[in-house]
Structure 1
Amino acid sequence: MAGTVAAGKAGGEADLRVGLVGYGVAGAFFHAPLIAATPGLRLSSVVTRSPERAAEVGEKYGARAVGDAEELWESSDLVVVASPNRTHVPLTEAALRAGLPVVVDKPLAATAREARGLIELAGERGLMLTVFQNRRWDGDFLTIRRLLSSGELGAVNRLESRFERWRPTPKGGWRE
């Protein structure tokens, strides 16, 4: 299904229909706005069980809200997984098995073994699988890229960059 649409896109056909799994912070503040702002993409379906969020995706993006991921496979050409971290692997695997390319919010998986399994499945099916990397478009990274390509920094052997996060009481998530 996705291959047919992708081939049709080259001929100026309709936008790719993007299904978004999850409309919490990542889905609402990063993924949905970026999908909506990207030429050639249309946010078509969003998985959310919240009536308020369902109304918002309809009003803001003209997208259909659905109760679970299985409902959006048939109405999507591409899936973005922005659900809780523990669901990334099973949802990504299900989307790949449904024949859909997938963009997964970080982390891709909890273990290297799980990540390799997803990569192998995507490869076997000839589907794109990538991890959302929003930081590569931040001003500091773009400046470093420009400086590297211009040669102004000379030969760079190592770059270390950190984003610090402090909470008085850690919640136990992957960021902490």
Structure 2
Amino acid sequence: MPTPYNTGIIGYGLSAKIFHIPFINDSAHFTLHSIVQRSPKPDNDAHTDHPTAKIYASTSDLLLDKDVHVIVITTAPDSHASLATQAMKAGKHVIVEKPFTPTSEEARTLCDVARENGVFLTVYQNRRWDADFLTLRKVLDEGSLGRVVEFESHFDRHRPVMPSVQSWKTDPAAYSAVFDLGTHLMDQVVSIYGLPKRITGFVGTQRRNNTSGLEDSFTALLHYDGGLTATCKAGVVSPETEQLRFWVRGEKGSYKKYHLDPQEGQLKEGLRPGQGGYGIESEEKYGVLTKVEGGEMVSEKLKTVEGRGYTAFYDQFAKALDAKDVGLLPVGSRVAADVIRLCELMRASSKEGRTLDV
């Protein structure tokens, strides 16, 4: 299979425009070949935005194109299983936007379909390439914290009023913050420590005017052997000028970080990878590393890691394709299926009011 890999995208919403196309264009290993957009509008037309790409009105037409090597699925989660199955049976490698699928059973089935058809399947857990998370991983890899006993990961925002714009994210039958932000936070933890032994979940709403039952907030406690508890938390009532992102504590030190990774905000403002300042965090937003030295606590600001940003996901996917090695995938599909299972267990734990074995 020649490189760069011709890539087709199914769906032309925010995910495609902001979280995939900029990185496909930034990576030397991929070419934006085609886009499926069923209903273009004068102010939302894939052909106008990307005149060199083929524009298809249906997924079936895209899958018949033998020049397409990779399919990126950016549609609503309830369509992921069907579209990924069709693409893999057509011999295409597949990237699925998170959340992977609404159920772990569907996710595991997709893993089997990939194996049976000899294609590669991965899930776009792009926040593994957040600069703050990469900085934290560097701290952990260097052993600066010693044995970690508390790992807190937050994605809190102050949005106490229900969104006025209707989409699948405001439909309680289709959306839960557990499967949205929860998949990001738990995937980060699992990528470091693997699956926990037990999970305790608290899922519900923090909004007073939420009468629909939409799950807008959660807290998950992931219990590991050796004394480690990882807390993954997202809330919509958090009036802070600086939102806590990470607080990780060990026997030798701690790392505390406020503010979200800058990439999403920069992308929405029009900045693109490769442009000056992209993915770079200002000094006042650096995290703080505290170490125990000679019985005293010594703190220092720690510069946030600079790298390729989310383009690194695509670069790593290309390495897996080039080497024909599923072990090199940026996110293993079975690990992604395990994260969906954790989401299910979190909700079940909350409903049953007890800690569950994983």
Q: When the two structures are superposed, what TM-score results if normalisation uses the length of structure 2?
A: 0.43
CA distance in 2, matches of 1:103, 1:96: 10
Higher strand share: 2
Q: Deviations over 1:50-93 (max 9, x none)?
A: 1432233424xx21111111122223101110012221111001
Q: Quick one: structure 1 residues 154 and 78, their matched pair in 2 at CA, closer, same or farther if it must change by over 3 Å? A: same
Tell me, yes or no, if structure 1 residue 38 matches structure 2 residue 38: no
| Aligned-pair CA distance for 1:162 | 2.5
Q: In angstroms, what is the RMSD of aligned CA positions?
A: 1.7
Please, which of 56, 60, 64 is the counterpart of residue 70 of structure 1?
60
Larger Rg: 2
Please, which of 106, 122, 129 is the counterpart of residue 114 of structure 1?
106
Please, which of 93, 101, 109 is the counterpart of residue 101 of structure 1?
93
Higher helix share: 1
1:45·1:64 contact (CA, 8 Å) conserved in 2? yes
Please, which of 147, 152, 156 is the counterpart of residue 160 of structure 1?
152
Tell me, yes or no, if structure 1 residue 142 matches structure 2 residue 144: no
Q: Deviations over 1:3-60 (max 9, x none)?
A: xx1xx44xxxxx100011111000001111111111110010011121432233424x
| Aligned-pair CA distance for 1:157 | 4.6
Query: Runs of 5+ in structure 2 lacking a partner?
Result: 164-169, 178-215, 217-358
Q: Quick one: structure 1 residues 64 and 167, their matched pair in 2 at CA, closer, same or farther if it must change by over 3 Å? A: farther
Deviating beyond 4 angstroms after TM superposition, the runs of 4 or more aligned structure 1 residues are none
1:57·1:64 contact (CA, 8 Å) conserved in 2? no
2:74·2:97 contact (CA, 8 Å) conserved in 1? yes
CA distance in 1, matches of 2:150, 2:45: 43
Query: Runs of 5+ in structure 1 lacking a partner?
Result: 10-14
CA distance in 2, matches of 1:56, 1:136: 32
CA distance in 1, matches of 2:111, 2:150: 27
Q: Quick one: structure 1 residues 153 and 90, their matched pair in 2 at CA, closer, same or farther if it must change by over 3 Å? A: same
Corresponding residue for 2:176? 174
Q: Deviations over 1:107-144 (max 9, x none)?
A: 11111111111011111122111110111111210111
Q: Quick one: structure 1 residues 120 and 157, their matched pair in 2 at CA, closer, same or farther if it must change by over 3 Å? A: farther
Q: Quick one: structure 1 residues 89 and 167, their matched pair in 2 at CA, closer, same or farther if it must change by over 3 Å? A: farther
Corresponding residue for 1:12? none
| Aligned-pair CA distance for 1:155 | 2.2
CA distance in 2, matches of 1:124, 1:161: 36
Tell me, yes or no, if structure 1 residue 80 matches structure 2 residue 72: yes
CA distance in 2, matches of 1:143, 1:103: 26
Q: Quick one: structure 1 residues 158 and 127, their matched pair in 2 at CA, closer, same or farther if it must change by over 3 Å? A: farther
Q: When the two structures are superposed, what TM-score results if normalisation uses the length of structure 1?
A: 0.84
